[in-house]
A and B are shown apart, each in its own frame.
Chain A
Amino acid sequence: MNKERFKAWLDGDLDVMDSVLDLDETSDDSRDKQKEELKKLRRMIDRSGEARRVAKVETKGFYILYRCIAVISCVLLIGVLLFSIANLPRYGEENPETKEVVTRYVEKGVEETGAVNIVAGLILDYRAFDTLGESHVLFTALICVMILLRLDRKNTRTGYEDYYAIRNETAHRLYKEAIMRNVAAVLVPCIIVYGIYVLLNGQNGPGGGFSGGAVLGSAMIIFSAAFGFKVADRMITQKLCSLVTFIALSFYSFAKGYVFFTGANHLENHIPKGTPGAILSGGLILPLDIAVGLVVAFTMYGFFSLFMRGAIGRD
């Protein structure tokens, strides 16, 4: 039975927030009506599928050519990649071309960045611009998803509006699955604490902005999936999401962008580096980690929320 429900959910006929335990009888009627409309639409689409199948037979020659070209380009690409792999130095061996840079990072990394974790020192100090670009890529991706999926009065197609109104209404109803809610109530705090640990401990151990932010984002996703968007909207609104993302990104840009004005060679930190190994060490690395983590967490939640219902929060 669960399998059927899952399939129905995947086909878009059923909302997860529609629970079996839901005793709201008035909505049954509208749901039946909605299902009938969906069936009618599906019949229309099947008819257009017939026409497509006919067109496919007519363009059969094109399909054969297309497949041949696809196979040839795949084989060529695999050949090029294998050839370049054969020219790479073996795994774990010294590479004479990049030897000086790597040696410098390994030998002087802790001293120069104050981070015990060399990876964190690399991505947030030596190569901080890379990470800046990556966070902006995430931000841009969120904006693109918003452009494509966000629903409001201006971009909702007529006739489609009721459909989404019904869906939004069900999404806002309190979710009544007991197992999911109880498991989430136990798990979500643990995941959040783990995410904060990973986020703050980036300069001393494995972790950092991206991984910690992703863990925090999944905690937010589990929370809103278990307790419904109505509860999640109390904390996470559209405004909060854009504000946090904006502040984090602009803080990062200012903190690392000043070298444009002071000259690229003037890269020293004015923030004390602290003892390597302590939580408050690594100079700018910890604040930058937090900024990146916040951007990633809110981007993940924003993706989920926009895919699920076409809005990040009440606006």
Chain B
Amino acid sequence: MELTLTEIIKLILLLLLVICAVSVNFTKSLLQAVIIFLSYSSVMCLLWILMESPDLAITEAAVGAGVSGTLFLLTLRRIRSEHDSPDSGDGISGREDNEV
């Protein structure tokens, strides 16, 4: 099986996709997980272009890597500030800071 340049690039991107998908699960920090997930979307966007579906590539770039990233960051901020509120003592404990 001979490999053209496009196929090599495709294989590298697919490998990156798998690495991103797995490392999201094994990242301790939520912020890092969000950033890795965004890079997953960017890689997927390139793959859509290589698979000749530019429609999906535009949508993936705008929604996957753009808007959903903003929403994830806002959600992270929101759950952390809700965590500091008086009546959410049963919230998920995800923060490790020693400032108190």
> A residues within 8 Å of B by Cβ?
9-13, 38-39, 41-46, 48-49, 52, 117, 119-120, 157, 159-160, 163, 198, 205-208, 210-211, 214-215, 217-218, 221, 300, 303-304, 307-308
User: Which residues of A sit under 8 angstroms from B23, Cβ to Cβ?
Assistant: none
User: Separation in Å of the A127 CB from the closest CB of chain B?
Assistant: 14
In the complex formed, the residue of A with least CB distance to B75 is A307
Q: A10-B76, A303-B67 are in contact. Are A49 and B93 (CB under 8 A)?
A: yes
Contact B93 A206 (CB under 8 A): no
Complex alpha-carbon distance, A13 and B78, angstroms: 10
CB-based nearest A residue for B87? A157
Known contacts A42-B84, A46-B100, A160-B85, A11 near B70 by CB under 8 Å: no
Least CB distance, B38 to chain A, in whole angstroms: 13
- Say yes or no: A12-B67 contact (C-beta < 8 A), given A39-B100, A198-B58, A211-B62: no
Shortest beta-carbon distance, A307 to chain B, in Å? 4
8 Å CB contact of B86 from A12, A41, A49, A210? A41
Chain B residue at minimum C-beta to C-beta distance from A48: B89
* Chain A residues with CB under 8 A of B67: 214, 217-218, 221, 300, 303-304
CB<8 Å pairs between A and B, sample of 17: A12-B78, A12-B84, A44-B86, A45-B84, A45-B88, A48-B89, A52-B93, A119-B55, A157-B87, A160-B86, A210-B59, A210-B63, A211-B55, A215-B62, A217-B62, A218-B66, A304-B70
Q: Is A11 in contact with B93, judged by CB distance below 8 angstroms?
A: no
Minimum distance in angstroms from B22 CB to a CB of chain A: 12
Contact yes or no, B77 A11, CB < 8 A: yes
Please, how many angstroms separate the alpha-carbon atoms of A218 and B54 in the complex? 19
Partner of A11, one of B53, B74, B81: B81
Residues of the A chain whose Cβ atoms lie less than 8 Å from the Cβ of B81: 11-13
A11, B89: Cβ atoms closer than 8 Å: no
Q: Please indicate the chain B residues that have their CB under 8 angstroms from the CB of A10 in the complex.
A: 31, 73, 76-77, 80
- Asked whether A9 and B77 contact (CB < 8 A) given A208-B55, A214-B62, A214-B66, the answer is yes
**Closest B residue to A119 using CB positions:** B55
B27 to chain A, nearest CB (A): 15
